Each structure stands twice: as C-alpha cells, then as structure tokens.
Structure 1
Amino acid sequence: MMITDQHAPTTDRAIVIGGGQSGLAAACALRTHGFQPVLLEAGPEPVGSWPMYYDSLVLFSPAHLNALPGMPFPGDPAHYPTRDQVIDYLRGYAETLDCEIHTGRRVTSVLCDREGFVVTTQTGETWHAPVVVSATGNFSTPHRPDLGLTEFTGQVLHSSEYRNPAEFAGKRVVVVGAGNSGVQIAVELAETAEKVTLVSRQPVKIADLQGMEAFWTFMKHLGRLPLGAALARTGLLVGQQVIDNVGGYRTALRKGKPTHRPLFTKATATHLHWPNDTKEQVDTIILATGFRPTLEHLRPLGALDRAGNPHHRNGLSTTHPGLAYVGLLGQRALYTAALGGAGWDACHVAKTLRQRLPRKTPACCAH
C-alpha cells in the first residue's frame, strides 16, 4: 500500500470513504483511470463490516460470482464462501492496491472549498480532493420497521446484532424476514432455542440452485444490466427473493425447525398475536429486515434528500459533479450492493468521473 502526505498536491486525488468491498473496488477503478485514491476506513482494517456479521454467515451465491476486479475468489469456483473467507479475500485484495489506505478514520463530514471537497474524520484530520466516492455500505444503519412492538417487553434485536445461537438456548425466538439472512439465522437457532418461528409477509421461496450454472450465468448477466436495477427500484422484484437450498433449509422448514407463519398482527408484553385468536409466547424477536444507506457524513454538503437518500443517477451525484457512490442498492445494476457487483459500478463511476472532470478542474461546487 502506497503512503503519501495528506497535504500533497490534490489535482488527481480521489477520496474513497469506506474500505469494504465497494470502497476497495472503487479505489482499484479510480487508480485505473488515472486518479490517486486515498481510502478512509472507519474500522481497524480494510474489510468493511464483514467481521461484524454473524459467525455462520455463508454467501448466497457461488464463489465465481463474488470476485472484485482483477482477483478471482480463491478455492472451488462453485463453493459458497463463508464470512471468514470473505474477510481473508478482502484483506488480500487490499494488499494488491496501489493506493493510500488509512484505517481508524471515520468520516464525519464532507464540505466544499475552492479546491473541491474537504473531508473531515473523527480524528480531526482534513483531506482535500476534487473527487469523493462514498462507499460506506449500509451495515451501520439497520432498518427497524414499525411492527407495533411498543408493548412488547422481551428482547428485540436486529440481525446485525446477532452473532451465534449460544445465548438463545432454551428461549422462544421469532425471526422476522424471509430473506437469506432471516432463513439462515432461523434455521441455525432452531437447533438450540426451545422454539423458533420465522415470520414474513411473503412466502419463503427456496430452490435447489447448486450446480445450476445456467441459472447463475443468467443471474450474473441480469445483475450487470441497468434493467435489473430498474426492476428493483420499481418494486417488481420485491418479495421475489429465491433462497438457495445449500443449507438444507427446505427440509428444516418442513420439519418445523423453524416453523413459518405470516407476520403477526399484534404484540403484547410477552406474546405475539395472529388472527383467529392465536398467540405465541416469545422471549426474543430478531429483525432480519435489512439496512439503509449510511450517508449522514454527506448531510452538511446538501447531497441528500430529507429521507437521507442521495441525489444521484447511476452513482453520479446530481448535486455535486465531483461526488459519486458505489454500493448503493439498485444503483445501476441489480447486484451493486453485493460483493460480486461492486466492481461493475465502480468501473462505470471511475470512467465517468474521469470523462467529466479533466485534470486540474475543481468541480465540487459547480452545481
């Protein structure tokens, strides 16, 4: 990793905020297009939020679909990588990058000056550059929907707080959400907890996808196309997530470990309620309900709407020409926010930034 002075000339400097998969892919793409990337990562190493995911996490697609540009994922291309294998992969990828990487640098604000952007970290450091790419992911902003739990006196966790089933031994647990994480967590807990119920608005859709190369090839190409992102943004793909049966999930659900029910309609102090006067005593609720973008560092810049979403088109800010994003859900392609999709949008963003911002042209405040 190349280390230089933060006060060096900033003509082609590009600040990348976030050192996970999206930030690493962005740094690689920016370097390819003639920028001098400086990557600022809040954590102790450039692996993003992966160390904070639950211990047993397994990716939901084969290794050959989960590589960043220029470095295949090691091992059998058909295997499904674990959390720790992803961490090792990202560590190795970071070592290959010819750019500055600074850890322990949580960005608190981004503002404009005459040279472009001023990026400030919690350490008090300031960095100057004409280009900023925000690649902060969403793990730090878990989505906790209003499910009417104000009277519930039990434990309520988000999946981001779940690590392993040990602390839930002998407890009655409800997992909310029938996506990959919800199903993985519920099936794992069912081996330890007294009772586990998976609840969701949509049915659980499980398919045997291992070895179906035609399916994964189709999804890979769909994932690269703007059509995929358009479908995601319009909601046509919402609730249609198909889960690979790699973990024996279908059999587990058929055996009632966990059981599956529709979303509850009411919560009291110790029970969840369904229609027809059915109820269930519950100790813990785990919300596998997704995440939202972590972009508050851009609030002072005026780059976000009231809901905290960025004003952008295909990852390029529509309010500040030198600002871009990598890793937003449905940014330009279907898998933008996934490990295997980060490189596609990173390349598009870096190429477009170079075309729009000729050298020696500060562009931050050219609204």
Structure 2
Amino acid sequence: MDTNEIETVIIGAGQAGLAAGYHLQRRGRPFVILDANSRTGDNWRRQWDTLQLYSPAQYDNLPGLPFPAPKWTFPTKDEVGDYLEAYAHHFDLPIVLGTRVRSLERHGDQCVITTDGDIYRCDNVVVATGTFGRTPYVPAIADRLDPTILQLHSSEYRRPGQLREGPVLVVGASHSGTDVAHEVGQTHPTILAGRDCGQIPPRLDSRAMHLLFPVVHFAWQHILTRRTPIGRKQLPHIRFHGGPMLRVKRADLAVRGVERVTSRVEEVRDGRPVVDGTPRDVANVVWATGFRQVYDWIDIPVFGEDGYPRELRGVVDEAPGLYFAGLSFQYAFSSMLIAGAGRDAEYVVDHLVARRASEKIAAAD
C-alpha cells in the first residue's frame, strides 16, 4: 500500500462531502475526497425509482451552483445524482472514486485512514458518510418471519414489481414509509404500520405551499435548531423516529385502500407478523424503519450510546481534527436537506481552518 500525506481527508462524496470540499477549496486548503462509489451521486441513483425531493429545486442548491431545474419543480433522485456529479466537475473537486475506507485511527496528532487501496495520513478528517452511509435498521423479529415472506429494507426497495403477489406490510410511517405504502397500494393490498408522525397539510405542489414553504423552510433552518428549546426537543424525534408525512397525506393512503395501523410490529406468531394483535398473512414486508449509526470502522472513542458522535455542529472537541458532516439534525432540521448541507459544511470548515491557524500561532510562540 502507498501512503499519502495531505492536510484534510473528506470521507464521502455526497452533498455534505462536496459542500465541505467547496469551502476548503475556497480557503485554499489542500484536501482529497474519498468515495466508494464508481460515480459521484450514485447513492442517490440507487434509491427507489419514483423518489423525488420534498423541497423545490430553488431550495436544493449546494453553495456556488444553482440546481438546474425550474424553481417550483421537485427533482428526481437521478437528477440529484447528476447534479452532484456536475457540481464535482464544475469545481474540479479532487475526488478518488472506487475507494472504500476500511478504518480510521488516531496516531499521535494525525489521523490514519486505511482504504482498500492506499493509506492516508492527515491532520483533519471530515466524516461525511451522512444519511446514506448508515446501516439499514431491521428489527430482530425479522429473523422469525416465515422464509417465504419477501423482506426488503426501504433502502433496497426500487419498484412494486420487485414484490411478490399478495399483501404487503410496510413497517414505519415516516415520509419514506408512507411514500412506499402509497405506491405499492396501487398493485397490492397494503398495510402501513407505525406511529403517526404527523403531516404537513398543504400539497407540496399547491399554490398554498408556494406561500407557505418559505416560512416552513425558515423554521427548518433557524427555529428548529440545536440552539433553541423547541429544536433540542425535536432532535431525538427526528433522529430516531422520522419526520412528518410530506408528499403523501392520510387521505391519499385511504384512497389507495391502505390499511393504517398506528401500533408497533413487535411480535411474530407461526412465522407471521402480528399487526394490532392479529397475525397477518402477508407475502411481503418492507421495513421503512430507518438506519443505525454504525461507525465501527472508526477507532476513536467519541461515540455515545445512541451511536452518534459526541459533537456539536459537527465539531468533536474530544478529538481535535475530527469532524462530521451530513448528520441528521447536525445543527437544524434543515441539515437533512441539500440546502442545509452547505451551511453545516461551512461551519465545520471555518472551525477547521481557525484551529489550524491557532496551532500555527502557538507553534510560532
């Protein structure tokens, strides 16, 4: 293995990693972005076929480059992937694709990153694996279901044609679960189980939302933050229980004939999932149950019992030089949006550059 020395390594070329690269480039700092995909944006391209963003194109910009779509349209997952790829080319960001990071360790004042090809020694690491770098969470009861039942996590779901004939149980009723249940409800008898996460009443493409969305977006950016009491109250709900229904409404599920059950699925009898006290004969289960933060490849003890790093706005005080970008609610509700990635990354880079400057001053003294 070759050893490369560079000031900063960014792990992950999604929106958070690219935004961090943009801000480092603007400040003239040397860095490289490592990503396991063969193309920038592939994490988005692998989502289900009909996925669209929940925010209009005018709010889907990374810093320095507008999203190339009419402002009140909702980009598809492929359009997002292509935008991220175009962004990387536009700013000529130094990305090494096809490179999977195997471990991150601390050796003295430096971090050592081992990939499946080379080793990188650096002063700073920005872990930008974000939402799509997490491990899909499936409840333990999944192992007790009859093997004839097809099981997919929502990250594996692409289209209704993947599913077997017969009823579908979708477990998890945040925006992803409701979207999937609504789609498969066209072709399969469908049950949606999970707590009601609420809904935003206006249609995303309605005239009312044209007026309301700027207000909602402001709240997501500036009110629901880790600095406000209401934001701190919402943080665990967003991180561990999912957000409200956005595109699909309760009425839409009813029109499709989706059976809505708000109790949890926690039991299996005779190989069948128990829903609201009754075993159900289903042919498919889609687990829209979110993701777990798994950082077992990072050998630096900065993680809490919930799996998240002990950070504030991506800065880890316990390990100078270690940063995170793209975390759910990293600073605000908007952190999970593309537009939120830019602000979060800028804060991280500002801290990184300021820390390096203060170290140089201390060394000169």
Short-chain TM bin: 0.7 to 0.9
Q: Where does residue 87 of structure 1 map in the other structure?
A: 81
Letter in 2 for 1:136: T
Deviation at 1:233, TM superposition (A): 4.7
C-alpha distance in structure 1 between counterparts of 2:14 and 2:175, whole Å: 20
The aligned counterpart of 1:163 is 158
Q: Which residue of 2 aligns with 1:353?
A: 352
For residue 127 of structure 1, report the CA deviation from its aligned partner.
1.2
Cross-structure match for 1:126: 119
Native 8 Å contact 2:43 2:81 kept in 1 = no
Q: Distance in 2 between matches of 1:336 and 1:203?
A: 19
Describe the superposition over 1:112-136 as per-residue Cα deviations: whole angstroms up to 9, x where unpaired.
335622211012x011221110001
Structure 1 pair 145/266, CA: closer, same or farther in 2 (3 Å)? closer
Equivalent position of 2:269 in the other structure? 268
* 1:228 aligns to 2:225 (yes or no): yes
Residue of structure 1 in register with 2:245 after alignment: 243
Question: Contact 1:270/1:282 (CA < 8 Å) preserved in 2?
Answer: no
Matched residues in 1 for 2:27 and 2:221: separation? 20
1:182 aligns with 2:182: no
In 1, Cα distance between equivalents of 2:159 and 2:326: 27
Whole-Å separation in 2 of the counterparts to 1:203 and 1:353: 37
Contact 1:135 1:326 in 2 (8 A): yes
Give unpaired runs (5+ residues) of structure 1: none
| C-alpha distance 215-200 of structure 1, shift in aligned 2 (>3 A) | same
Instruction: Give me the whole-angstrom Cα distance separating, in 1, the residues matched to 2:280 and 2:359.
Output: 65
The two structures have a TM-score, normalised by structure 1, of 0.86
- TM-score normalised by structure 2 residue count: 0.86
Matched residues in 1 for 2:323 and 2:96: separation?
20
Measure the CA separation in 1 of the matches of 2:252 and 2:345.
Answer: 39
Whether the 8 Å CA contact 1:53–1:163 is kept in 2: the answer is yes
- Alignment RMSD, CA only? 2.7
Q: Does 1:173 align with 2:168?
A: yes
Compared CA separation, residues 318 and 360, structure 1 to 2 (3 A): closer
Q: 2:307, 2:244 → 1: CA distance?
A: 29
- The count of residues paired between Structure 1 and Structure 2 equals 349
Change (3 A) 1:362 1:53: farther
1:176–1:287 Cα contact (<8 Å) kept: yes
Identity between Structure 1 and Structure 2 (%): 31
Match of residue 34 from structure 1:
28
Q: Could you say what secondary structure the match of 1:357 adopts?
A: helix
1:313 match: secondary structure: coil
Match of 2:102 in 1: 108
CA offsets 1:59-104 (integer angstroms, 9 cap, x no match): 1121112111111111111111111111111111110224311001
